[in-house]
């Protein structure tokens, strides 16, 4: 018997709701890179139009670096659920999981080089391959190793940053890179855009950055996998006190850390402290709040649209890049570098509202998103297609 993807009646609604909520936050923060050269500027001084400071302050504290950790933990949770399912059925897991991640890698490569340089799928696929070999470890060991892998390098980097800013507190802004980005994305040909996209991807994914990225995202996935082994989300009622604690303590501490650049100093060291140590704590608080709300029928009904988006997260994620780049790049409306944060954020909310409607309409006829269908077909073959293509 072949291992099959998770069936509709096996899905956990709270996980889909968390995933949908993550996609909203990811779109809002990604919107800054869709419409402006965020990688090369100091955002605290670059955005100077009316209300920019207030809007960026909100994004900085409540959104920045608080949604990709949640999505990463959910990715690890989902992979571990597949692993546990394979164990229950006494089926081989690693070959199929590796194939699934390699397909995701291919989709990520197309996304990164044909749509948007800020792709995360490549990273998830590569780190997911590392996680496969760790899923046999006990949950406590996964959490312990995750804490070690995460804390040691990031604490060292943070210490070095505080030393560096004490010598030179200035924030670097790549003026030439900023102008190059605006020229290419707002006015360039497709070849110009491709060249700039490639340059931006290489800048963000140089070897040092990628090693840091592994030390960042792998621990999140490991924690998610450990949570899946404990079935923390499925047994949220049983672990209600744990979830309440997670909804309060990490969220409060995380928000205080996230506010340090606003309250203390907007230098690189405090920004790193904010993102690396504050962001994951806020993400944990958000996950706990959704886990608790999902236990109430009224809130569950209210959050259902987020769950629908979460069910087709790959399609929604790629759609966000497709729509946003068409709005801002020269082959569409060419608005790159021409909108303020308020307009950009409203555009993000508008795109997500459309996606909520799209997901509801699509899933009223089909059991999975279009890209999910392609991904799973290339992973599992055609055997499950008749059962998963349309609603009964």
Within 8 A by CB and 6+ apart from 186, the residues are 328, 329, 330, 334, 335, 336, 337, 338
Q: How much is the pLDDT for 94?
A: 95
Distance CA 222, CA 74 (A): 10
- Residue 336 contacts residue 328 (beta carbons within 8 Å): yes
pLDDT along the chain (392 residues), means of 10: 44 92 98 95 90 96 97 97 94 94 97 97 97 97 98 97 86 77 96 96 92 96 97 93 96 97 93 97 98 95 97 98 98 96 98 98 96 92 54 48
Q: How much is the pLDDT for 2?
A: 46
Q: How much is the pLDDT for 202?
A: 94
- Residue 345 contacts residue 59 (beta carbons within 8 Å): yes
Q: How much is the pLDDT for 176?
A: 80
Q: How much is the pLDDT for 195?
A: 96
Q: How much is the pLDDT for 385?
A: 52
Distance CA 373, CA 385 (A): 8
**Residue 232 DSSP class:** T
Q: Give the CA angle between residues 93, 97, 99 to the nearest 5°.
A: 125
* Segment holding 378, helix H or strand E: helix 370-380
Q: How much is the pLDDT for 171?
A: 62
The pair of structure tokens assigned to 192 is 């110009």
Burial letters for 210-231: b for 16+ Cβ neighbours within 10 Å, e otherwise? eeebbbbbbbbbbbbbbbbbbb
Distance CA 259, CA 56 (A): 12
């Amino acid at each position: 018997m072949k291992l099959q993807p998770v069936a509709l009646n096996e899905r956990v609604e709270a996980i889909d709701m968390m995933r949908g909520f993550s996609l909203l936050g990811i779109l809002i923060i990604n919107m800054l890179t869709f419409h402006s050269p965020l990688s090369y500027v100091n955002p605290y001084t670059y955005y100077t139009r009316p209300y920019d400071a207030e809007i960026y302050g909100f994004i900085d504290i409540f959104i920045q670096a608080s949604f990709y950790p949640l999505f990463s933990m959910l990715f690890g949770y989902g992979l571990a659920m597949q692993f546990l399912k394979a164990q229950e059925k006494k089926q081989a897991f690693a070959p199929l999981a590796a194939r699934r991640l390699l397909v995701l890698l291919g989709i990520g490569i197309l996304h990164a080089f044909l749509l948007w340089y800020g792709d995360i799928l490549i990273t998830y696929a590569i780190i997911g391959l590392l996680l496969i070999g760790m899923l046999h470890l006990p949950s406590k060991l996964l959490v312990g190793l995750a804490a070690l892998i995460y804390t040691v390098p990031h604490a060292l980097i943070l210490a070095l940053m505080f030393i560096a800013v004490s010598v030179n507190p200035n924030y670097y802004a790549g003026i030439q890179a900023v102008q190059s980005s605006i020229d290419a994305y707002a006015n360039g040909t497709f070849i110009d855009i491709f060249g700039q996209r490639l340059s931006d991807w290489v800048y963000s994914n140089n070897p040092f950055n990628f090693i840091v990225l592994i030390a960042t995202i792998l621990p999140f996935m490991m924690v998610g996998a450990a949570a899946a082994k404990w079935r923390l989300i499925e047994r949220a009622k049983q672990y209600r006190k744990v979830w309440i604690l997670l909804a309060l303590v990490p969220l409060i501490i995380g928000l205080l850390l996230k506010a340090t650049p606003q309250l203390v100093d907007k230098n690189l060291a405090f920004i790193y402290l904010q993102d690396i140590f504050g962001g994951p704590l806020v993400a944990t608080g958000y996950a706990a709040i959704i886990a608790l709300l999902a236990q109430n029928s009224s809130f569950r009904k209210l959050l259902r649209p987020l769950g629908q988006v979460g069910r087709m997260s790959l399609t929604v994620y790629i759609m966000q890049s497709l729509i946003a780049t068409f709005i801002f790049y020269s082959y569409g409306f060419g608005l790159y570098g021409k909108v303020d944060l308020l307009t950009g954020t409203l555009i993000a909310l508008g795109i997500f509202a459309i996606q909520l409607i799209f997901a509801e309409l699509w899933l009223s006829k089909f059991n999975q998103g279009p890209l999910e269908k392609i991904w799973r077909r290339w992973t599992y073959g055609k055997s499950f297609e008749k059962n998963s293509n349309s609603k009964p």
